[in-house]
Chains A and B, each alone.
Chain A
Amino acid sequence: MSIGVNVEYHLKNFGLSAEFNIPEPGITALFGPSGSGKTTLVNMIAGLVRPNRGHIQINDHVLFEHSRGINLPVRERRVGCVFQDNRLFPHKSVRDNLFYGARRNPHKLPQDEQQSILDMLNIAYLMDRRPNLLSGGEKQRVALGRALLSNPDVLLLDEPLSALDHARKQEILPYLEWLRDHRKIPILYVTHAIDEVARLADHMVVIDQGKTLATGSVFDMLGRTDLATLAGRFDAGTVLPARIVSRDPKAEVSFLECGEQRLVVPYLGRPNTDRVRLHVRARDVMIARTPPRDISANNIIPVTITKITDTPGDTIDVTMCFGQDADATLLAETSGRPKIHARITKWSGSRLKLQPHQKVFAVIKSVTVNGQLRDR
């Protein structure tokens, strides 16, 4: 499973040149501010916009290749799309909407797989309604079902949550996690919301002003402070994989393990050994030179500073790796030992005389636990 995109596109006052490869299934976030060209890029993969140059390929299925004059029509591309504005057919029932693609596709999904999608999306009770009687969340579930039942090679989700309020978003997110974990279909997920990226994505493509800036695993990308400034709304932080090991007797907190480090988070209500994804924003991390005592923060991690970066404004970003052993910085680069980022004021930085290789303590004010981590 792979998606390869390398395209150029020019309009009068908008140019786009994008290049990225995604080698695995799972969710790839196409992340960037509004107007950066995300939707145009997705429309090119779907065939709704024609690039001026380049090629687009899904697995070994070439969708577009300028030099060979290949430009597959939309309906032969086998892409499933979920649009921001759901685009359900208003004159058809939910059932007819759901099976619109399936009825037209010679490569149908087996009956039991169709059923498992319908069961998962929990839309059986909506079948005979018209779309205009559904809530925003229900509409997006039906739109997701309609795309999935057409048995596509790739799923393109163009800001599927952006028109929903917070509660509706929380309602849809678990369905997307289920998709990521239970269906072997690559998903390209367009968003400008970093919390969605942190929660859902495995890979990340950062795009700004029509250019792809970087591509990589979400764990690496979210920590890159250089992208933070470029991509505007990018709220730098760290995504850490962790495992639940136990809980306290009163079930007030859960104990997690991240590398060799033990972490405490509010009780998760999940079984031990469950793997979860933590998102720690850089501005929620403080730095102390000595281990602070009598402090409300639960997580104080011995770390070694690997890098200090200036940011625009009066802050600096401090990258630290877990552990204070002599070769900690080396291990962070070679063996993937977890890193964490802190954003502090320049003044604090110089007051503490912070510098690379220094051994300090990262004090984490709050941790967001983002859904279940995919087991690989």
Chain B
Amino acid sequence: MISLTPAEIEALLLSLRISGVAVACALPFAVAVATALALGRFPGRFILDAIVHLPLILPPVVMGYLLLIGFGTRAPLGAWLYETFDLRFVFSWTGAALASAIVSFPFQVRAIRLSLENIDHGLYQAAETLGAGAIDRFFSLTLPLALPGIIAGAITAFAASLGEFGAIITFVSNVPGETRTLPLAIYTAIQTPGGELAAARLAALSIGLAFTGLLLSELALRRIRKRAAS
């Protein structure tokens, strides 16, 4: 077995951490937005829908640029977050996580929304006649019934954020050990004279990671389906 260099391991772990944190932090928001879109009837639903899907259509560089304007240390929101919570995004892995979260957000929302829309409305009526209020119904029916969709959404979003490049490099630059994820490391290797081998190794690592991810998600979905059927 070929052993990985410290720099490769660093990039791999950083990628996993950034994607993991991005998906975990975005998940509650994704569930909330998906619920609002799937079950809510309110003015502005269409606009919310469009905003959520924006990262899918916009070039990632534009997303990174917008983030820089919004969350840079000199931007009002960024400055406020820095002063109040000591939260700095620029040149930091947290910024990379924020960029990944926003870019992969639509994947989560779409999957969760789809599974929410598939829930038979009659079940809610039945629960209501049995004395369950709205919040009770959400936790006893909506969440568990949407669980396969939530997991599928999280896995897709995780995979999408592992590959994020444009938004990260624009927003938080390419700092080794801080924001240099696998795609950025590959880009750096290609830019370096004589870095072809390093780039190939990193690319192979990415492919391996993608395969493992696919395999795990397939296993997870199978287990959920099996549990639902038993």
Contact = CB atoms under 8 A, between A and B. Distances in A.
Contact of B129 (A80, A85, A90, A91): A80
Contacts, number: 63
Main secondary structure of the interface of B (DSSP, over half): helix
Interface in B117-174: 120, 122-123, 125-133, 136, 140-141, 144-145
B2 interface: no
Contacts of B136: 104
Given A87-B120, A91-B144, A104-B136, A81 B229 contact: no
A300 interface: no
A322 B229 CA distance: 59
A83 B136 CA distance: 21
Interface string A67-88: 0000000110101110101010
Contacts of A130: 228-230
B26 to A, nearest CB: 25
A75 B129 contact: yes
A104 B132 contact: yes
B131 A105 contact: yes
A48 interface: yes
Nearest to A48: B125
Given A104-B136, A130-B230, A132-B229, A89 B129 contact: no
A75 B122 contact: no
Between B120, B130, B144, the greatest number of chain A beta carbons within 10 A of the residue's beta carbon is seen for B130
A46 B129 contact: yes
Given A81-B126, A104-B136, A130-B230, A90 B145 contact: yes
Given A74-B128, A75-B128, A83-B126, A91 B133 contact: no
Contacts of A147: 129-130
A46 B125 CA distance: 9
B138 to A, nearest CB: 14
A105 B136 CA distance: 13
A40 B129 CA distance: 15
A87 B130 contact: no
Contacts of A199: none
Nearest to A99: B130
A133 to B, nearest CB: 8
A306 interface: no
Between A85, A87, A130, A146, the greatest number of chain B beta carbons within 10 A of the residue's beta carbon is seen for A87
A81 B124 CA distance: 12
A93 to B, nearest CB: 10
Contacts of A48: 125, 128-129
Given A81-B126, A89-B123, A150 B131 contact: yes
A89 B141 contact: yes
A101 B130 CA distance: 4
A104 B131 contact: yes
A9 interface: no
A100 interface: yes
A101 B229 contact: no
Contacts of B128: 47-48, 74-75
Contacts of B126: 81, 83, 87, 89
A74 B128 CA distance: 6
Contact of B131 (A75, A83, A87): A75
B122 A85 contact: yes
A208 B140 CA distance: 38
Between B129, B132, B228, the greatest number of chain A beta carbons within 10 A of the residue's beta carbon is seen for B129
A280 to B, nearest CB: 38
B229 A104 contact: no
B35 to A, nearest CB: 17
A150 to B, nearest CB: 5
Interface string A140-152: 0000001100100
A368 to B, nearest CB: 34
Contact of B123 (A87, A101, A133): A87
Contacts of A46: 125, 129
Contacts of B140: 89, 100
Given A91-B144, A104-B136, A81 B129 contact: yes
Contacts of B131: 75, 101, 104-105, 150
Interface in A120-149: 130, 132-133, 146-147
B228 A146 contact: no
A82 to B, nearest CB: 9
Contacts of B230: 130, 133
7 contacts: A48-B128, A75-B129, A75-B131, A87-B126, A104-B130, A130-B230, A150-B130
Interface of B: 120, 122-123, 125-133, 136, 140-141, 144-145, 228-230
6 closest A-B pairs by beta carbon, nearest first, are A101-B130, A104-B131, A87-B126, A74-B128, A75-B131, A81-B129
Given A91-B145, A91-B228, 12 more contacts: A46-B125, A47-B128, A47-B129, A77-B129, A87-B122, A101-B129, A101-B130, A104-B130, A104-B131, A130-B228, A146-B130, A147-B130
